[in-house]
Amino acid sequence: MKTRVILTLCVVFVLGLVSHANAQATLVAGSQEDKAFTACANDQAVDAQIEKCLEFKRQFPNSKATPDANVILINAYRNKNETAKVNEIGEETIRLDPTNVTALMAVSRNYAMEKEKKNVDKAVTYATKAVETIGKWKTEPRYLEDPAWKNYVDQTEKSAQANLIYAKAMRP
């Protein structure tokens, strides 16, 4: 089980990197929004990164890159073991982008691990959505044309499936 949790965390981190690349594609290069997002994404100190991402969200509340900034926040809060913040930002991200695999997996994992087991059904729902979303990635031409992307999708799918199995096993 420990290996499964570590694998899930690794995939969540990698998904964060992919999310960052997607955000850069939605922003106008050199704009204030781009500069603020880049500062959020590139800061190496976790607390500074959190502050810069929160500032980005305050300055650009309607940005198309908000889900990507949230993924950075999810990873930062995860690094600080602030599960409640991971869940809060994750839920916000899922509301903005119901197919955000990083948020789905992070929140699902946390809900499945709760001692009270009050959100286990939601954990299973989110884990299922992550697996379904990744399954759709496999139907895209990029999956067949790009070996690196295929490998990434396959590894992410394994982690998502393991997360789903775990979430289901935690049902009371």
Give the model confidence (pLDDT) of 44-83 as tens digits: 899 999 999 999 999 999 999 999 999 999 999 999 999 9
97 Cβ neighbours under 8 A, 6+ residues apart: 67, 103
State yes or no: pLDDT of 99 exceeds 70: yes
- Give the pLDDT band of residue 18 (cuts 50, 70, 90): very low
**Contact criterion met (CB below 8 Å) for 59 and 35:** no
58 Cβ neighbours under 8 A, 6+ residues apart: none
Overall average pLDDT of the 127-155 stretch:
96
41-63: burial string, b at 16+ Cβ within 10 Å, e else? bebeeeeebbebbeebbeebeeb
In which domain, by residue range, is 27 found? 2-169
- Highest mean pLDDT: which range of 2-11, 16-25, 160-169: 160-169
What total number of domains does the chain contain? 1
State yes or no: pLDDT of 16 exceeds 50: no
User: Could you tell me the pTM of the whole model?
Assistant: 0.83
pLDDT at 166: 97
Overall average pLDDT of the 106-135 stretch:
97
- 137: tokens are 């990635």
CATH number assigned to the domain comprising residue 63: 1.25.40.10
Query: Among residues of the chain, what percentage have pLDDT more than 90?
Result: 81
**Contact criterion met (CB below 8 Å) for 77 and 86:** yes
Q: How many CB atoms lie within 10 A of CB 32?
A: 11
